[in-house]
């Protein structure tokens, strides 16, 4: 009996770790995911006067503050050795902020995903794992709108669109995988540890300043550049800028590495969530 129970547990764990089975399951639920993601996107701005424009206003306000502090007061430029104006510097900052906001907004909301949707917890047939996907997709759609402003700014600054913008989906893939894996983990932990929401907010803010978004990695002390270069969000943000601002092709080794790492976090987060959700009803 013990061997049989152990074999069943190992088999169930293997099935959870099966990416083909996972993506097949998510594909079968695509209509439900699309519907809940739309509801999440609309709910974020329901009752506000500006509505979806807040998607653009939030990063623009952050951009204004950072550009004024670093670009006007400290006279900073992204590459001091290359002549550039304040507008180009602002575009670089804005692209990094938009990419990071997909990550930060999604993670800050993740610990309360299950608790805020208790009505679904009691429904055995409802796939709770799609709550994180829907929340992430809502952030993704907002970032696409913001990046359209970046492309418009690039056209104004240079008179042309960089052809490397076609690579942009390659930067989104590791961002979505890495973020979703962490969201699943935080959503499961948030059911049992309510303080994790506040801890996540603080850590996300600290991680923002620890990621080369407001400054190029070349300005960091040389002994720290190697460790900053291993930061998954640095590689992701760097590729957003490569594709949209600098007109550069991917660093295939770095991008491949962060995509594999993101996929690992994605699978681990999914397994943790699926193994935990059987006790959600008792916890909430």
As a whole number of angstroms, the distance between CA 270 and CA 215 comes to 33
> b/e string for 181-211 if b means 16 or more Cβ within 10 A?
bbbbbbbbbbbeeeebbeebeeebeebbeeb
The residue-averaged pLDDT of 4-26 equals 67
Residues 92/76, Cβ–Cβ less than 8 Å: no
Measured CA to CA, the distance from residue 107 to residue 104 in angstroms comes to 5
How much is the pLDDT for 253?
A: 95
Tally of CA atoms within 13 A in the half-sphere of 260 that contains its CB: 6
Q: Say how far apart CA 192 and CA 104 lie, in whole Å.
A: 21
Cβ(269)–Cβ(243) under 8 Å? no
Q: What is the pLDDT of residue 1?
A: 45
- For the chain, what is the mean pLDDT? 83
What is the pLDDT averaged over residues 154-163?
Answer: 84
Q: What is the mean pLDDT of residues 126-140?
A: 91
Residue 158 forms part of a structural domain: yes
Q: Which residue has the tokens 């590791």?
A: 174
Angle, helix 232-241 to helix 86-109, in steps of 10 degrees = 140
Counted domains in the chain:
1
Which whole number is the average pLDDT over 139-157? 85
Say whether pLDDT at 66 is over 90: no
* Among 33-47, 192-206, 210-224, 252-266, the least confident range: 33-47
The pair of three-digit structure tokens given for residue 82, joined into one six-digit string: 């290359």
Q: Is residue 4 part of a domain?
A: no
Nearest to 193 by CA among 129, 110, 257: 110
Give residue 10's pLDDT.
45
Q: Could you tell me if residue 160 is inside a domain? A: yes
Say if 1 falls within a structural domain. Answer: no
**3-state DSSP percent of the chain in helix, strand and coil, to 5:** 80, 0, 20
Angstrom CA distances, 6 to 11, 21, 275, stand at 9, 21, 15
pLDDT at 82 over 70: no
Identify whether 6 is part of a domain.
Answer: no
Domain that holds residue 204: 20-283
pLDDT at position 94: 86
Within 13 Å and on the Cβ side, how many CA atoms surround 209?
Answer: 5
Question: In this structure, is residue 238 part of a structural domain?
Answer: yes
Helix, strand or coil for residue 211? coil
Does residue 266 sit within a domain? yes
pLDDT over threshold 80, residue 50: no
* CA distances for 68 relative to 62, 90, 116, angstroms: 10, 9, 38
Whether 122 is in a domain gets the answer yes
* Mean per-residue pLDDT, 166-181: 96
């Amino acid at each position: 009996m013990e061997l049989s129970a152990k074999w069943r547990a190992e088999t169930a764990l293997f099935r959870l770790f099966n990416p083909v089975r996972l993506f097949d399951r998510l594909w079968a639920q695509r209509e439900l995911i699309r519907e809940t993601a739309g509801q999440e996107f609309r709910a974020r701005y329901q009752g506000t006067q500006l509505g979806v424009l807040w998607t653009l206003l939030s990063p623009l306000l952050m951009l204004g503050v950072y550009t004024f502090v670093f670009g006007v007061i400290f006279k900073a430029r992204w590459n001091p050795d290359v002549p550039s104006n304040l507008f180009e510097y602002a575009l670089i900052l804005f692209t990094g902020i938009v990419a990071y906001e997909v990550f930060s907004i999604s993670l800050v909301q993740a610990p309360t995903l299950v608790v805020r949707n208790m009505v679904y917890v009691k429904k055995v047939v409802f796939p709770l794992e799609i709550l994180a996907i829907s929340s992430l997709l809502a952030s993704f759609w907002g970032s696409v709108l913001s990046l359209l402003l970046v492309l418009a700014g690039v056209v104004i600054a240079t008179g042309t669109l960089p052809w490397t913008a076609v690579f942009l989906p390659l930067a989104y893939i590791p961002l979505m995988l890495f973020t979703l894996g962490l969201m699943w983990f935080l959503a499961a932990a948030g059911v049992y540890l309510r303080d994790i929401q506040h801890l996540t907010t603080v850590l996300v803010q600290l991680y923002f300043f620890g990621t080369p978004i407001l400054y190029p990695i070349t300005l960091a002390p040389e002994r720290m550049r190697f460790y900053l270069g291993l930061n998954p969000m640095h590689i992701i943000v760097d590729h957003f800028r490569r594709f949209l601002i600098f007109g550069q092709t991917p660093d295939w080794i770095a991008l491949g590495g962060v995509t594999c790492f993101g996929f690992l976090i994605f699978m681990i987060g999914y397994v943790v969530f699926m193994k935990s959700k059987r006790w959600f009803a008792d916890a909430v």
